[in-house]
């Protein structure tokens, strides 16, 4: 294994704007430019509208909940750039093509007024797009710009989401039981607050997320996502990254994913493609992982199942498979399992055995189990508490602010960041009653107590 640092351009590098040049033009020209600009803005705003979709709507025009379109596809067909489509909770058996400039939002009760967008609740009013039996991808975008998908469950497609050469932001979606979960080719994608689970890819790419791209301007940013329980044949149980683009994975849990060998068809019986990368498979790409917890991913082959978080493959094309890992926990990985010689740039992170780099530690991270209210969160006494550095967003994977300082542990003060996807909430005055360790004693704790009331546990 080769370990060295690589200098990279900042994520925020961009060409300087030239306002000074514009100000030198004649006054009349400037006024004309402003008039045209304002006209365009006014036209755009005046045209933008809310389009409603509800299973029990009349299908007439989408202008009210009563006259809502019955399908999301009908809402999209009647939309224009700048419009917002509000979808009432329910199960919509359809596959959907995104449209440029249109936002599609689930989680409505079907009673909200125009100024009550914030009342929608994607947990209480589950809004599902279901492509079971159609052989189609649940959500598709090809050459689409500025599209938003927010607050849906996406189930049973040949892919949950398929994005090709598009610029799409996905928020608060649950991508469930597809094959694979999210497939991305080129483009600019942001995925925030999503759960990607129980997806199976038998074709050879990633089970949860499958991303490939060669263009330097292509990007993927994943924030506060949970990628768990996905399966792939041959490459990347959780996440597969290929090409010269550099996906950024920020404050995410990548756990309990599995990669299995793949039978080679047409080559006679008994031939298989070897399984590689239970958690993250990197082919030529540069993957940046900040504040991630990557544990209990497995690579199953003909021998005993191995717990392997990362696998690197150098195809011989430009680019060396690289992982830049900051303030993260990678609990299942040994140097011999990394595959082709990767570039590893690791800092303020925990690996089971020591990896060179500033602030790194090794050993047992002391994490909560899978079947707990906060799977793989830090337990009291974890060496990952207050021993990381500022690397990612100011919220952890469940939305709690970071950093939170535990006085007397690790660093004290404003730099008390934790490794991994969760920020440890600290010892509480009411820790005895705070059953789910949320930092509050509230209804959730009471419900947990009621659920367990008078149950006998143990012999
Ligand atoms: Ca902390
Ligand atoms: Ca501290």
Instruction: Lowest mean pLDDT of 148-162, 186-200, 313-327, 372-386, name the range.
Output: 313-327
Q: What is the mean pLDDT of residues 312-319?
A: 86
pLDDT band for 141, please (50, 70, 90 cuts): very high
> What pLDDT, on the 0 to 100 scale, is given for residue 18?
36
325 vs 318, more confident: 325
CA of 405 to the centre of ligand 2 (A): 5
75 pLDDT band, cuts 50/70/90, is very high
Give the phi and the psi of residue 444 in degrees, each rounded to 5.
-60, -40
pLDDT at 288 > cutoff 60 = yes
Within a 10 A sphere around the Cβ of 114, how many other Cβ atoms? 9
Parallel, antiparallel, or unpaired for β 167-171 and 188-192?
Answer: parallel
Find out whether 107 and 122 touch, Cβ atoms under 8 Å. Answer: yes
CA of 320 to the centre of ligand 2 (A): 37
Q: For 91-100, what is the mean pLDDT?
A: 98
Q: Residue 29: its pLDDT value, please? A: 58
Smallest Cα–Cα separation from 81: which of 62, 63, 103? Answer: 103
Whether residue 188 is predicted with pLDDT greater than 80 in this model: the reply is yes
Distance 418 CA to ligand 2 centre (A): 10
Q: How far is the CA of 275 from the centre of ligand 1 (A)?
A: 37
| pLDDT score of 21 more than 50 | no
How does pLDDT run across 97-120, given as a tens digit for each residue? 999 999 999 999 999 999 999 999
The dihedrals phi and psi of 28, each to the nearest 5 degrees, come to: -60, -35
Residue 14 confidence class, pLDDT cut points 50, 70, 90: very low
Q: What is the structure's pLDDT at 365?
A: 95
> pLDDT over 70 for what percent of the chain?
83
Which tens digit of pLDDT belongs to each residue from 232-256?
Answer: 998 999 999 999 888 999 999 999 9
The alpha carbon of 210 and the centre of ligand 1 are apart by a number of angstroms equal to 32
Q: Three-state secondary structure along the chain?
A: CECCCCCCCCCCCCCCCCHHHHHCCCHHHHHHHHHHHHHHHHHHHHHCCEEEECCCCCCCCCCCCCCCECCHHHHHHCCCCCCEEEEECEEECCCEECCCCCEEEEEECCCCCCCCHHHCCCCCCCEEEECCCCCCCCEEEECCCCEEEECCEEECCCCCEEEECCEEEEECCEEECCCCCEEEECCEEEEECCEEECCEECCCCCCCEEEECCCCCCEEEEECCEEECCEEECECCCEEEECCCCCEEECCEEECCEEECEECCCCCCCCEECCECCCEEEECCEEEEECCEEECCEEECCCCCECCCEEEECCCCCCCCEEEEECCEECCCCHHHCECCCEEEEECCEECCCCCCCCCEECCCCECCCCCCCCCCECCCCCCCCCCCCCCCCECCCCCECCCCCCCCCCCCCCCCCCCCCCCCCCCCCCCCCCCCCCCCCHHHHHHHHHHCCCCCCC
Task: Give the ligand at the shortest distance from the Cα of 413.
Answer: 2
Contact status, residue 116 vs residue 108, Cβ threshold 8 Å: no
Average pLDDT, the chain: 86
Whether the per-residue pLDDT at 140 is higher than 90: the answer is yes
pLDDT(340) > 80: no
Predicted pLDDT of residue 458: 52
Expressed in angstroms and rounded, the spacing between residue 175 Cα and the centre of ligand 1 is: 30
Span 48-61, pLDDT tens digits: 899 999 999 999 99
Q: Is 4 a residue whose pLDDT tops 70?
A: no
CA 226 – ligand 2 centroid, Å: 27
Reported as a single tens digit per residue, the pLDDT across 25-72 is 455 556 655 665 555 455 445 568 999 999 999 999 999 999 999 999
Q: Retrieve residue 187's tokens.
A: 């483009």
pLDDT in tens, 414-425: 999 999 999 998
Confidence of residue 437 (pLDDT cuts 50, 70, 90): low
Judge contact between 172 and 150, C-beta under 8 A: yes
Q: Look at residue 113 in the predicted model and tell me its pLDDT.
A: 97
Nearest ligand atom owner, CA of 408: 2
Per-residue model confidence (pLDDT) at position 27: 55
Give the closest ligand to the alpha carbon of residue 403: 1
- Phi and psi, residue 131, nearest 5°: -110, 20
The more confident residue out of 11 and 205 is 205
Relative to the alpha carbon of 378, which ligand is closest?
1
pLDDT at residue 221 is higher than 60: yes
Residue 345: strand pairing partners? 324
**Token representation of residue 62:** 């989408």
Residues with CB under 5 A from ligand 2 (ion): 386, 405-406, 409-410, 412, 416
What is residue 142's predicted lDDT score, i.e. its pLDDT? 98
CA of 333 to the centre of ligand 1 (A): 24
- Ligand with the closest atom to the CA of 412: 2
Strand partners, 148: 103, 169
At 364 the pLDDT is 93
Cα(413) to centroid of ligand 1, in Å?
9
- The per-residue pLDDT for 31 is 62
C-alpha distances in Å from residue 223, one per residue of 256, 258, 309: 19, 22, 19
Rounded CA-CA distance 328/331 in Å is 9
Ligand having the closest approach to the CA of 384: 1
The residues, ordered by sequence, that sit 6+ positions from 106 with a Cβ below 8 Å of its Cβ are 87, 89, 120, 122, 125, 126, 127, 150, 151, 152, 153
Residue 144 has a pLDDT of 98
């Amino acid at each position: 294994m080769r370990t060295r640092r690589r200098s990279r351009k900042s994520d925020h590098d961009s060409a300087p704007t030239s306002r000074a040049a514009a100000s030198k033009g004649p006054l009349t020209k400037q006024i004309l430019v402003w008039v045209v600009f304002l006209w365009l803005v006014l036209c755009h705003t005046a045209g933008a509208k809310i389009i409603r979709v509800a299973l029990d709507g009349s299908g007439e025009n989408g202008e009210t909940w009563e006259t809502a379109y019955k399908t999301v596809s009908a809402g999209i067909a009647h939309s224009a750039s700048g419009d917002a489509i509000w979808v009432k909770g329910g199960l919509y058996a359809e596959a959907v093509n995104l449209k440029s400039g249109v936002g599609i939002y689930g989680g409505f009760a079907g009673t909200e007024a125009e100024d009550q967008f914030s009342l929608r609740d994607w947990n209480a009013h589950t809004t599902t797009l279901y492509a079971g039996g159609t052989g189609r991808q649940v959500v598709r975008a090809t050459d689409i710009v500025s599209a938003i998908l927010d607050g849906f469950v996406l189930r049973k497609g040949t892919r949950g989401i398929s994005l090709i050469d598009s610029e799409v932001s996905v928020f608060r979606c649950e991508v469930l039981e597809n094959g694979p979960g999210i497939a991305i080719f080129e483009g600019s994608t942001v995925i925030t607050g999503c759960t990607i689970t129980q997806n199976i890819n038998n074709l050879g790419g990633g089970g949860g997320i499958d991303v490939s791209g060669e263009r330097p301007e292509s990007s993927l940013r994943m924030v506060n996502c949970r990628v768990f329980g996905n399966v792939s044949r041959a490459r990347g149980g959780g996440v597969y990254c290929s090409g010269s683009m550099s996906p950024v994975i920020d404050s995410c849990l990548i756990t309990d994913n599995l990669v299995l060998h793949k039978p080679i068809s047409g080559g006679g019986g008994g031939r298989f493609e070897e399984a590689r990368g239970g958690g993250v498979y990197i082919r030529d790409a540069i993957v940046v992982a900040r504040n991630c917890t990557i544990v209990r991913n497995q690579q199953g082959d003909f021998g005993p199942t191995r717990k392997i978080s990362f696998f690197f493959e150098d195809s011989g094309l430009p680019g060396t498979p690289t992982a830049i890992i900051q303030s993260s926990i990678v609990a299942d990985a040994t140097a011999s399992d990394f595959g082709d010689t990767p570039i590893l740039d690791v800092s303020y992170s925990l690996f089971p055995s020591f990896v060179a780099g500033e602030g790194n530690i090794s050993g047992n991270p002391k994490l909560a189990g899978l079947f707990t209210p906060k799977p793989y969160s830090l337990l009291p006494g974890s060496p990952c508490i207050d021993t990381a550095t500022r690397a990612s967003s100011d919220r952890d994977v469940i939305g709690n602010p970071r950093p939170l300082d535990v006085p007397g542990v690790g660093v004290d003060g404003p730099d008390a960041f934790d490794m991994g996807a969760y920020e440890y909430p600290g010892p509480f005055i009411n820790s005895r009653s705070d059953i789910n360790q949320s930092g509050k004693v509230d209804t959730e704790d009471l419900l947990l107590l009621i659920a367990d009331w008078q149950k006998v546990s143990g012999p």
